[in-house]
Amino acid sequence: MTGPDLAMLPEENAGHKAAWVFDRHPDCAVIGADTVIMFENEIIGKPRDSDDAFAILSRLSGHRHQVLTGVAVIGPGIKKSFTVTSDIVFKPYDQTVIRQYLRQVHVLDKAGAYAIQEHGDMLIERIDGDRNNVIGLPLAAVLKVLKENGLIV
């Protein structure tokens, strides 16, 4: 998958997830989220196998990529969605580091074949943006939308 319009994919997916739950619970406010890794205008998904994980981490070595999290909030009287982007800069590392990382972290269920909260210091030089966005959910942005719409105080 490539192309600049792919940046909208996580927000669209989040909207579908939230709408599916809201349809079944129309009296509740629902938050849906979806996160992707974007590198060189390509979405990097979860690796197919350990060889694919190795290839993904090899590509990312020494480069910057983006973590995009789309969020949708749907409830009675509210339908909002947004995307939060964080930039990740990976250290330059070699195949030895990749093998070590793959021995320590189960990556087959992780977009981009890594998780910053699991030995991320082996790979990551720095995060420019919301760290919570990279780990899972951009909490500050979600709380802002919830407050602005009277869903929390």
Encoded tokens for 149: 């719409």
Treating both helix axes as pointing N-terminal to C-terminal, what angle do 50-60 and 95-104 enclose, rounded to 10 degrees?
Answer: 130
pTM of the entire predicted model: 0.88
In a domain, 81, yes or no: yes
* pLDDT at 4 > cutoff 60: no
Helix (H) or strand (E) holding 21: helix 9-24
Q: How many domains does the chain have?
A: 1
Residue 7 pLDDT greater than 70, yes or no: yes
Q: Is residue 28 scored above 70 in pLDDT?
A: yes
Question: Considering the chain, what percentage of its residues have pLDDT values greater than 90?
Answer: 90
Is 126 contained in some domain? Answer: yes
Tell me the two tokens of residue 120. 């991320």
In a domain, residue 151? The reply is no
Which pLDDT belongs to residue 37?
A: 94
Q: Is 34 a catalytic residue?
A: yes
Domain span at 71: 4-145
Please report whether residue 97 resides in a domain.
Answer: yes
| Residue pLDDT, tens place only, 97-146 | 999 999 999 999 998 999 999 999 999 999 999 999 999 899 999 999 99
**What's the chain's Rg over C-alpha atoms?**
17
Catalytic residue among 5, 23, 27, 34: 34
Domain membership flag for residue 102: yes
- Is residue 103 in some structural domain? yes
Q: What is the dihedral of CA 19, 46, 82, 120, to 10 degrees?
A: 130
The predicted pLDDT at position 21 comes to 98
CATH number at residue 9: 3.90.950.10
| In-domain check, residue 25 | yes
Q: Establish if 24 belongs to a structural domain.
A: yes
